């Protein structure tokens, strides 16, 4: 091994043989904690730099996937083993890396960040805070944003990386026990179903426009923006570079607004560099604009006009927010895990909104009462210092005349 590190308790695996033996031991355990370190500042796809693994006891190690000759097949077999629960904190990016390499998603999984939200630790609680609250330890996070692709790795980097899975064991045991005690383990199962759904990680260039924050004025402009974003996504993936390396978001909106149909017209846009109109990409951009202009407007999603909700619906949303906070407080669950502001607006505007708050455990906790509130069947009052819903009695029927 070419790195200097403290061999006790730290272990760095740099050969496929050692990785095979280690993963075979971990496969005999009920669960394994997992984390990864990667970089993607200069690429579209994340570059895997380290894998950290730990079993329930003292067995823990760091795997170097960049070591020449390293074959990660033993690790992927462990991730595919249905007998072993894979424990992550904020699992999505770790799962994305495994999915990219194998087109297989680890299962079953347990995400401690989501579990902590279900258990009342707040919204998107960090690993550092969970370690502090559950394990009573302070973590050194100074190595968090270091270059994980650079070799050799320092002792501090390795210690930081290993800490992301060793403390995770205690966090998992505590949260799992609490979920079992409160009967909420099935709530977590519902959340993990989305994380283990392949559609969560499939890259669909035609949906790339949804990540953009700025607005266009009309549906024709949106049609052009959809085609431009899809073109940029394809180009970024093919060249493995960040999206903004192909074209900045501001330029996408500028082009969608002006809708140039000749490369020379791009020279009039302030968001593009001088001479861009003569580049090879200029022709591709113009073709994307033409595809957008040719789209049937019926295939383009409607645009929110920016005028806001009607006053009566705004009041409904405010009541729903109060009810949400009340339900979340009584259940000791982070409100954002139940519903966000956009979902509350949809519930207020649509009779049968397709939102998570009206399904599964969220419906039991909040959605059912929210529907009754919208229909005017319940009111909100303060009782014993907290907001509670109360059923509105039906008015008595007027006596029929003799």
Higher pLDDT pick, 306 / 28: 28
pLDDT at 32 over 80: yes
The whole-number average pLDDT for the span 252-261 is 95
Query: Could you tell me the residue ranges of all domains in the chain?
Result: 12-200, 205-299, 311-391
CA distance 6 to 13: 13
Q: pLDDT tens digit string along 135-163?
A: 888 887 777 778 999 999 998 899 999 99
pLDDT bin (cut points 50, 70, 90) of residue 63 is very high
The whole-number average pLDDT for the span 191-201 is 91
Q: What does the DSSP 8-state code read for residue 366? A: I
Domains 12-200 and 205-299 share a fold: no
pLDDT score of 4: 36
Question: 20-24, 189-193, 222-226 — which is least confidently predicted?
Answer: 189-193
Q: Which CATH class is domain 311-391?
A: mainly alpha
The whole-number average pLDDT for the span 42-48 is 93
> pTM to 2 decimals?
0.85
* Residues 14 and 5 sit within 8 Å (Cβ to Cβ): no
The whole-number average pLDDT for the span 253-281 is 93
The whole-number average pLDDT for the span 116-131 is 90
CA distance 173 to 27: 18
- The fourth-level CATH superfamily of domain 12-200 is Ribonuclease H-like superfamily/Ribonuclease H (3.30.420.10)
Backbone angles phi, psi at 387, to 5 degrees: -80, 130
What's the token pair of residue 288?
A: 């994307």
Q: Which fold has domain 205-299?
A: DNA polymerase; domain 1 (1.10.150)
- Residues facing 104 on adjacent strands: none
pLDDT bin (cut points 50, 70, 90) of residue 241 is very high
Question: 82-91, 132-141, 195-204, 249-258 — which is least confidently predicted?
Answer: 132-141
The whole-number average pLDDT for the span 97-109 is 94
* Residues 323 and 369 sit within 8 Å (Cβ to Cβ): yes
What's the token pair of residue 295?
A: 């789209």
Q: What average pLDDT is seen over the chain?
A: 90
């Amino acid at each position: 091994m070419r790195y200097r590190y403290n061999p006790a308790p730290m272990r760095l695996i740099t050969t496929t043989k050692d990785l095979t033996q280690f993963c075979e031991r971990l496969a005999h355990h009920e669960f394994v904690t997992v984390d990864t370190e990667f970089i993607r500042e200069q690429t579209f796809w994340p570059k895997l730099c380290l894998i950290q693994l730990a079993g329930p006891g003292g067995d823990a190690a760091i795997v170097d996937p960049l070591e020449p000759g390293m074959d990660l097949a033993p690790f992927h077999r462990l991730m595919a083993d249905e007998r072993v629960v894979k424990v992550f904190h904020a699992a999505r990016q770790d799962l994305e890396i495994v999915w990219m390499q194998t087109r297989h998603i680890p299962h079953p999984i347990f995400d401690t960040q989501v579990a902590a939200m279900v258990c009342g630790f707040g919204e998107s609680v960090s690993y550092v805070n969970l370690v502090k609250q559950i394990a009573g330890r302070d973590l050194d996070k100074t190595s968090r944003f270091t270059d994980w692709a650079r070799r050799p790795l320092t002792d501090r980097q390795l210690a930081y990386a290993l800490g992301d899975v060793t403390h995770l064991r205690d966090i998992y045991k505590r949260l799992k026990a609490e979920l079992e005690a409160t009967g909420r383990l099935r709530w977590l199962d519902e959340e993990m179903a989305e994380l283990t759904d392949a559609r969560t990680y499939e890259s669909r260039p035609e949906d790339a426009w949804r990540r953009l924050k700025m607005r266009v004025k009309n549906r024709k402009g949106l049609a052009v923006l959809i085609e431009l974003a899809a073109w940029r996504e394809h180009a970024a993936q093919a060249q493995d570079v960040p999206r903004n390396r192909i074209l900045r978001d501001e330029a996408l909106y500028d082009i969608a607004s002006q809708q140039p149909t000749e490369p020379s017209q791009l020279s009039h846009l302030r968001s593009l560099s001088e001479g861009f109109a003569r580049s090879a990409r200029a022709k591709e951009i113009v073709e994307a604009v033409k595809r957008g202009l040719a789209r049937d407007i019926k295939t383009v999603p409607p645009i929110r006009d920016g005028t806001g909700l009607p006053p009566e619906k705004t009041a409904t949303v405010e009541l729903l927010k109060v009810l949400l906070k009340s339900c979340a407080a009584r259940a000791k669950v982070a409100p954002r895990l139940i519903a966000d502001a956009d979902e509350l607006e949809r519930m207020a505007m649509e009779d049968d909104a397709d939102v998570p708050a009206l399904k599964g455990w969220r419906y039991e906790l909040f959605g059912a009462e929210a529907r009754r509130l919208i229909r005017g069947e319940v009111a909100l009052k303060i009782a014993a210092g907290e907001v509670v819903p109360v059923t509105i009695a039906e008015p008595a029927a007027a006596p029929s005349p003799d």
